Amino acid sequence: MKILESAPYRYDKGIKILTLGKIDKAYDRLVDPIKKDDKVLDIGCGTGMLSFRAVLKGANVTGIDINPEMLEIARKRSEELKIKEKIEFLEMGVAELDHFENDSFDVIMSGLCFSELSEDEITFTLNQVKRILSKEGQFLLADEIKSRSLFKRIINWFLRIPLVIITYILTQTTSRAIKNIEQRITGSGLVIQSRKSNFLDNFVELIIIKEGKK
């Protein structure tokens, strides 16, 4: 995905091809629990695909990302959509999540960003999510994963080859999958409340809560 982000104007098109157009439905589902006036943090917001959905549900959104060019596109869109007062985009990495106060957000969400983080960043981010999420809050995560099933991993590998080639020709972009995210989440003391994955188990949508609330 990083190549794709080096040309942010191609990002939205590339991601739609890579996911065979399924990303829009997945993101619509992911933001479903968000309510009017919720305070929402979008980690690795990119061009704002999730952030804007949350604003449309009436939330107040902070999107953070380390890529200034992706953020520029997101800011431009928020001006076009005339929703600037409901959304702020900050150039900041997950390493700076410790700047937020405890229990700051009703909802934290992240789409296709964890698969770009290092092992240490994932551990740090999950710990920070647990700290800055409100007691009754929800952490909504969607990302590409490596299936635990070897059979599905092999099928996936073969099916993806033509898709990766077509996407690369059209957009000069590609993507990669994340390993063991669910174990990492539960290992950090958060609780997975619901899990939805596709047939090949290579894309997962998770609703995660703080320990203690079930």
Q: Which residues bind ligand SAM (CB under 6 A)?
A: 1, 5, 15, 44-47, 49-50, 64-67, 70, 93-94, 111-113, 116-117, 121
The least distance separating ligand SAM from the CB of residue 212, rounded to whole angstroms, comes to: 28
SS (H, E, C) the chain: CHHHHCCHHHHHHHHHHHCCCCHHHHHHHHCCCCCCCCEEEEECCCCCHHHHHHHHCCCEEEEEECCHHHHHHHHHHHHHCCCHHHEEEEECCHHHHHHCCCCCEEEEEEECCHHHCCHHHHHHHHHHHHHHEEEEEEEEEEEEECCCCHHHHHHHHHHHHHHHHHHHHHHCCCCCCECCHHHHHHHCCEEEEEEEECCCCCEEEEEEEECCCC
Q: Toward ligand SAM, which CB reaches closer, 15 or 59?
A: 15
The least distance separating ligand SAM from the CB of residue 149, rounded to whole angstroms, comes to: 24
The least distance separating ligand SAM from the CB of residue 13, rounded to whole angstroms, comes to: 12
The least distance separating ligand SAM from the CB of residue 89, rounded to whole angstroms, comes to: 11
Residue nearest to ligand SAM (CB): 46
Q: Toward ligand SAM, which CB reaches closer, 174 or 191?
A: 174
Q: Toward ligand SAM, which CB reaches closer, 74 or 190?
A: 74
The least distance separating ligand SAM from the CB of residue 5, rounded to whole angstroms, comes to: 5
Residue 45 φ then ψ, to 5°: -70, -20
Q: Toward ligand SAM, which CB reaches closer, 61 or 94?
A: 94
Q: Toward ligand SAM, which CB reaches closer, 103 or 121?
A: 121
